[in-house]
Amino acid sequence: MSEDLSQLIECYRRMILIRRFEEKVDELFAAGELRGTSHLSVGQEACAVGAVVALCPEDLVTSNHRGHGHFLAKGGDPKRIMAELFGKEPGYSRGWGGTQHMACFKIGFLGSNGITGGGIPIATGAALSCKLHRNGRVVLCFLGEGATNQGTFHESLNMAAIWRLPVIYLCENNLYAMSTRITDACLVENLADRAAAYGLPGQTIEGNDFFAVREAVATAAHRARSGEGPTLLEAKTYRQLGHSRGDLRIYRSRDEEQTWKHRDPIPRLGQRLIELGALTDAQDALICEQAARLVDDAVLFARSAPLAPTEELTSGKRCSP
């Protein structure tokens, strides 16, 4: 396989940007500068970037509560995402959405989602539009393993199957729905096997392997674009931080966390790039530095941005009746 090495470097750069962004958000919460809550995707960057890079730019993406990485992978502006987390006027949702409710339709990002499993039918409906309008687009639906126990998962996969919709359901199985381990919530060992119940292909992949994710999504996208219908992918991964702000992770061992830390997707891709001769240690350090600067700039932008205007609460502009 001949690789476009510069594209690989871009993907690596994007993964590091997501990592740095999430770490910064964690720091800002710890410092008391950010309020509310946030769900961080540290450790899951290969899923976000590997999946999105396998799509065409016009393709659509839906996300869930752990959505900063998905949005950044699709091309979201770190400044406006950060501004939304600060509740500021230039935030993607002008302070009305926060961490779980941001979208940018122009770049095909149909939104993160605060209800577990809530985005699955919406992705399915977007795929129905794509099919009816014959626009050749496919929809990538990010969901967590917890969402596979929601009715919407089963109902939506079934409908997507019978209508052969151009949609890819990518389940990031990070093992825990908040504190509940997937083995306590479902007896099926590989969640991709659930696809069989709907007559769909299902595939379990190593979610911390950028190349495995990219290849599986590319195959599923090809299948979707050729009118053969949806695919369920299960990417086995791990969220290195807690479920949300304030999670002390008492439900899992530090040994387990260490084991997964050794499977971190970023050094894994970095090592591969060095082997391919695409990256040197010096370039690696520069990429990290640039990512940190982008994130710092985003924080400065968000800090100095104006607050979301209270006049909009009753202006009728954002909510008519």
Partner 1 sequence: MFSMREIYFSEAVREALAEELERDPTVFLLGEDIGIYGGAFGVTRGLLERFGPERVINTPISENSFVGVGVGAALTGSRPVVEIMFMDFIALATDQLVNHAAKFRAVYGEQAKVPLVIRTAAGGGRSYGPSHSQSLEAWFVHTPGLKVIAPGTAEDAKGLLKSAIRDDDPVIFIEPKALYNQRMPVPEGEYTIPLGAAKIVQVGGDVSIICYGRIVREAQQAASALAGDGISAEVVDLRTLNPLDIETIVTSVQKTGHAIIAHEACRTGGVGAEVACRIMEHAFDYLDAAIQRLAAPDIPIPFSPELEAASFPSAAEIVEAARRSLGKGE
* Binding site residues, partner 1, CB under 8 A: 60, 62, 92-94, 96-97, 101-106, 110-111, 113-115, 118, 120-130, 132-133, 151-152, 155-156, 158-159, 162-163, 318-321
Least distance between partner 1 and beta carbon 308 (Å):
11
Q: What is the C-alpha to C-alpha distance for residues 49 and 231, in angstroms, rounded to an integer?
A: 18
For partner 1, give the closer residue by CB, 15 or 157.
157
Angle between helices 119-133 and 151-162 (to 10 degrees): 10
For partner 1, give the closer residue by CB, 135 or 190.
135
For partner 1, give the closer residue by CB, 79 or 239.
79
Least distance between partner 1 and beta carbon 166 (Å):
12
For partner 1, give the closer residue by CB, 128 or 218.
128
Q: What DSSP line would sit under 111-146, residue for residue?
A: ---SSTTTHHHHHHHHHHHHHHHT----EEEEEEGG
Q: Given CA atoms 281, 287, 288, 293 in this order, what sign does their dihedral have?
A: positive
For partner 1, give the closer residue by CB, 2 or 320.
320
CB 76 within 8 A of CB 92: yes
Least distance between partner 1 and beta carbon 266 (Å):
31
Least distance between partner 1 and beta carbon 304 (Å):
22
How far, CA to CA in Å, does 225 sit from each of 108, 136, 165?
A: 16, 6, 9
Least distance between partner 1 and beta carbon 59 (Å):
12
Least distance between partner 1 and beta carbon 118 (Å):
6
CA-closest candidate to residue 73, choices 297, 272, 275, 265: 265
For partner 1, give the closer residue by CB, 246 or 316.
316
Least distance between partner 1 and beta carbon 163 (Å):
8
The three-state secondary structure class of 60 is: strand
For partner 1, give the closer residue by CB, 6 or 320.
320
Residues 6+ apart with CB under 8 A from 190: 202, 204, 234
CA angle 134, 136, 140 (to 5 degrees): 120
